[in-house]
Chains A and B, each alone.
Chain A
């Protein structure tokens, strides 16, 4: 597959898209891990929801 004289622009576009999508996925995955960890720490310290159910919803 030849991209011709404008290959740097095409490759840069696809790399930018891949980077943005990867950053979004990483941000969401790290945020999920952080929230779960904070909930676990709070539950371990004895703080429970008024319903008495686990805050992680599982």
Chain B
């Protein structure tokens, strides 16, 4: 019954591919190809071999350009040269939320669509997201000391980002605590979806509460309030950090697929070993 269902699904996909080819609908064909092909870890591994050098080169070029623009940016009339901290603090803070957003999508992929790579992506993204969140908190503190006169303040934005960081750590601990990857994936997906409630709190904390942290100055309905001299380096660094995240995510996903293959082979090895032990006494019995 299950086999017939699988065969039926494969046939349907093949028919859909053929139909897409015949109709010349490139977009539709690409969509079908991506969904089907990327669900296969072996194809994903071969894709990473071709993709990673391009991603790493693009990231390095953009990071160098961003650092050059950051160094050349003028001092702010109020912040002075400490405005340069913003060029790494703001992209890190954006990525801390963006990575959780990616993990939330992956959690839906695990629970709803059962995509084979969804939990691989979620597990690989968590330590990277935690690192960017740590960086946002660290650079924020280093900016806060000269500008606010304190490294830390328990205001809504800082506290909600600290909670995000702790949730990343909880998620990493959960992945490591549950040995079976499929069970760990489901538990982590539920925790990720619950944690996603924190994202709008972080975003709107500066509007809902009276905080020391300044309100949004880039993504606003009325446009950015930043001068182009600061906006351009900031956007280049944000793009570079995003590409860095994508590069690291693809590489970490490749590692996770290999780790699961190691686990599968070790289980096969253990089964072979136990069957040898079980077979030995029977072989020694007299006929």
Contact = CB atoms under 8 A, between A and B. Distances in A.
Interface of A: 1-7, 9-10, 12-14, 16-17, 20-21, 23-25, 27-28, 31-32, 35-36, 38-39, 42-43, 45, 47-50, 53, 55-58
Contacts of A17: 88, 92, 135, 139
Interface of B: 41-42, 45-46, 49, 71, 75, 80-82, 84-85, 88-89, 92, 127-128, 131, 134-135, 138-139, 142-143, 145-146, 244, 248, 251-252, 254-255, 257-259, 261-262, 264-266, 268-269, 272
A16 B135 contact: yes
Contacts of A36: 258
Contact of B135 (A7, A9, A20, A45): A20
Given A25-B248, A47-B272, A10 B81 contact: yes
A12 B131 CA distance: 16
Contact of B269 (A1, A9, A42): A42
A48 B257 CA distance: 16
Nearest to A6: B146
Given A6-B146, A13-B88, A35 B272 contact: no
Given A36-B258, A47-B272, A57 B71 contact: no
Contacts of A25: 248
A48 B265 CA distance: 7
A6 B258 contact: no
Contacts of A31: 252, 255, 259
25 contacts: A3-B84, A6-B80, A9-B82, A9-B146, A10-B81, A10-B85, A10-B142, A13-B84, A13-B139, A14-B88, A17-B88, A17-B135, A20-B135, A21-B244, A24-B248, A28-B248, A32-B255, A36-B258, A38-B262, A42-B265, A47-B265, A49-B264, A56-B45, A57-B258, A58-B45
Chain A interface main SS type: helix
A21 B82 CA distance: 21
Given A4-B75, A31-B255, A38-B262, A9 B248 contact: no
A32 B258 contact: yes
Given A20-B135, A24-B131, 20 more contacts: A1-B71, A9-B82, A9-B146, A10-B81, A13-B142, A16-B139, A17-B92, A17-B135, A17-B139, A24-B248, A28-B248, A35-B261, A47-B268, A49-B261, A49-B264, A57-B41, A57-B45, A57-B46, A57-B258, A58-B49
B128 A20 contact: no
Most-contacted residue by chain A among B82, B244, B264 (CB, 10 A):
B82
Contact of A16 (B49, B84, B138, B264): B138
A33 B221 CA distance: 47
Contacts of B252: 28, 31
Given A35-B259, A42-B269, A47-B265, A57 B146 contact: no
A53 B41 CA distance: 13
A41 B204 CA distance: 52
Contacts of B268: 47, 50
